[in-house]
């Protein structure tokens, strides 16, 4: 039986960690490789690097980060953030990334997911979804009824770092991503992200019920209990600020989750 996974997530820009680090005694507080090493030692099952570099050098910067991580940390890791074409995917996988996550580009060009999955295997394609509860009627109408928000929709997806509404139903889109060839889904609740009130279990559960690929829950962890709770539904939990601000460690999360009956590495 597969273990439940704990996945620290690092936001990076220009090859440096950009937020949420409080490792004051590190030689270089903003070095993602150093943090990766620490989380690995604590027992992290995987790592995710979300790149928010917005310059033309983005690809080169990201490639060199991936090369450095791959040469020092021997657990699987995913890179994501604005990855929009097959060339970049190839460069990052060749540089040593195990998986790439595709978010906005999958909405813009769904074929990209299929192309990457066919070429490199579904195991290295993570479909990332930023979802928000539907409060009013969708302002954007989508012609494809297979994915459009309708009267029964509870969640809508957003792209471009959560800035752009799409009119696409999150649960339907999750199903579509799996059909397109994603091997895994990273589901972030925008309503919960940064709130520390717990993961959106309902969102996670709806999606888990619809797909047969692993689902990583993200957004809202305020305590170890929150993580353990969402693992009753999800295959893995993404954790950011709880770890970065040293409120806990991966080892503590795992010990407590184990006590709650979760099968952990």
Partner 1 sequence: MKVTILDYGVGNLGSVRNALLCLGVEASVTSDARLIDSSDLLVVPGQGAAGDAMAALKSHGLVAPIQDYIRSGRPYFGICLGYQLLFDFTEEDGGIHGLGLFSGQVKRFDSRDIKVPQMGWNQLDVVNDPLELASGLDQPLFGYFANSYYVEPEDPSIVFTQTDYGTRFASSIQTATVLGCQFHPEKSGAVGLHIIKEFLNRHAH
Q: Which residues would be at the binding site for partner 1 (CB under 8 A)?
A: 1-3, 5, 40, 45, 70-72, 74-76, 93-96, 98, 120-123, 183-184, 212-214, 235-236, 265
Is the CB of 149 or the CB of 208 nearer to partner 1? 208
**Angle, helices 58-72/32-42, rounded to nearest 10 degrees:** 30
- Cα–Cα distance between 212 and 187 in angstroms, integer? 14
DSSP secondary structure letter of residue 140: S
- Cα–Cα distance between 213 and 220 in angstroms, integer? 22
Q: How far is the CB of 258 from partner 1 (least distance, A)?
A: 12
Q: How far is the CB of 57 from partner 1 (least distance, A)?
A: 22
45 catalytically annotated: no
Is the CB of 107 or the CB of 122 nearer to partner 1? 122
Q: How many CB atoms lie within 10 A of CB 214?
A: 16
Is the CB of 11 or the CB of 235 nearer to partner 1? 235
Contacts of residue 83, Cβ cutoff 8 Å, sequence gap at least 6: 89, 92, 100, 101, 102, 105
Of the candidates 93, 79, 12, the residue with the CA atom closest to the CA atom of residue 48: 79
19, 230 Cβ separation under 8 angstroms: no
- Cα–Cα distance between 122 and 207 in angstroms, integer? 18
Q: How far is the CB of 77 from partner 1 (least distance, A)?
A: 9
From the candidates 31, 45, 51, 130, give the one annotated as an active-site residue. 130
Q: How far is the CB of 34 from partner 1 (least distance, A)?
A: 16
Element holding 180 (H helix, E strand) = helix 170-180
Please provide the DSSP assignment of 67-79 as one string: HHHHHH--S-EEE
Is the CB of 110 or the CB of 183 nearer to partner 1? 183
Is the CB of 45 or the CB of 156 nearer to partner 1? 45
236, 214 Cβ separation under 8 angstroms: yes
193 catalytically annotated: no
Q: How far is the CB of 171 from partner 1 (least distance, A)?
A: 18
Residues labelled catalytic: 11, 130
């Amino acid at each position: 039986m597969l273990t439940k996974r704990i996945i620290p997530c690092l936001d990076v820009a220009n090859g440096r960690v950009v937020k949420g680090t409080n490792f004051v005694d590190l030689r270089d507080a903003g070095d993602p490789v150093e943090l990766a090493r620490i989380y690995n030692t604590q027992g992290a099952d995987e790592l995710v690097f979300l790149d928010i570099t917005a310059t033309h050098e983005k690809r080169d910067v990201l490639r060199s980060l991936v090369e450095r991580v791959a040469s020092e940390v021997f657990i699987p890791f995913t890179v994501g953030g604005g990855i929009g074409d097959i060339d970049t995917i190839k460069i990052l996988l060749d540089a040593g990334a195990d998986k790439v996550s595709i978010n906005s580009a999958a909405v813009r060009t769904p074929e990209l997911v299929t192309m990457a999955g066919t070429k490199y295997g579904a195991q290295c394609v993570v479909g990332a979804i930023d979802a928000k509860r539907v409060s009013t009627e969708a302002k954007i109408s989508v012609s494809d009824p297979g994915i459009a928000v309708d009267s029964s929709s509870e969640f809508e997806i957003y792209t471009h770092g959560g800035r752009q509404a799409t009119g696409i139903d999150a649960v339907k889109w999750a199903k579509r991503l799996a059909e397109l060839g994603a091997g895994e889904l990273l589901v972030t609740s925008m309503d919960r992200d940064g709130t520390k009130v717990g993961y959106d279990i309902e969102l996670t559960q709806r999606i888990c019920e619809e797909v047969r690929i692993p689902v990583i829950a993200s957004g809202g962890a305020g305590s170890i209990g929150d993580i353990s709770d969402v693992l009753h539904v999800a295959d893995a939990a993404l954790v950011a600020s709880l770890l970065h601000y040293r409120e806990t460690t991966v080892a503590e999360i795992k010990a407590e989750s184990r006590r709650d009956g979760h099968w952990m590495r």
